[in-house]
Amino acid sequence: MPKLDESLLSGLPPFAGLDRAEIREILDQAASRRFEEGATVFREGHDADRFFLLLDGYLRVVRSTPGGDQVIVLHISPGQLFGIAPALQRDTYPATAIAAAESIALSWPVRLWSDFADAYPGFATETYKTLGERIGQVQQTLTEMATQAVEKRVAAAVLRMVNQSGRKADGGIEIAFPVTRQNIADMTGTTLHTVSRLLSGWEKAGMVESTRKHITVTDPHRLVVLAGGAD
């Protein structure tokens, strides 16, 4: 593996308080790997032998329901730690991570987790902050699935992806990673038919534009209203 430059980590919250020598120590213990779109990084219930940092790309985090269904509970953006089972006092991964787009990640043996937390200022604090935010996102998703009408939760799911990864495009804001209608169905506990019907209706109303794997929101305000976030 080519030697990685310290600048890769210097601006990221878990490492922002470290000097270049400390970052060099961390990078020298890392392994780097590229994941093609759709590749599984790790699986729910498998031994958590490594923890990861996403350098580039996006990941979907999928959990199994008691009934055996697969639900996309959140997405991971570049610059974030993931697979952090030690922070949950677990020795297995609590969910499955799948590359939503071509992605590059660093990883370290899980035995180094406590060493990093003890040796590097801010590492543990920022990690637990991230963990708390993710638990909140998962709870929000599950609450929406249990209590909200399907159109409202589909709108909320699309907006979350826009807020996380949106980039300016012709006519609106495009979700930066490939997303299919089946993905949205898996995020919202509904059917592919229902998601297709809703997106087709929103396209006719001028709120979104969608192709097989890409969605652009052309009228964000109307989608926010539909999701219940504004009057």
Whether 148-227 and 7-135 are alike in CATH topology: the answer is: no
The CATH fold assigned to 148-227 is: Arc Repressor Mutant, subunit A (1.10.10)
Comparing 222 with 2, which gets the higher pLDDT? 222
Q: How many CB atoms lie within 10 A of CB 59?
A: 27
The yes-or-no verdict on residue 231 having pLDDT over 70 is no
**pLDDT for position 2:** 61
**Cα(154)–Cα(145) distance, integer angstroms:** 9
Interval 164-199: pLDDT, tens: 888 898 889 999 999 999 999 999 989 999 999 999
Q: Which CATH architecture has domain 7-135?
A: Sandwich (2.60)
The residue ranges of every structural domain in the chain are: 7-135, 148-227
What are the backbone angles phi and psi of residue 113, rounded to the nearest 5°? -55, -50
Mean pLDDT of 84-105: 94
Interval 4-53: pLDDT, tens: 888 888 888 888 888 899 999 999 999 999 999 999 999 999 999 999 99
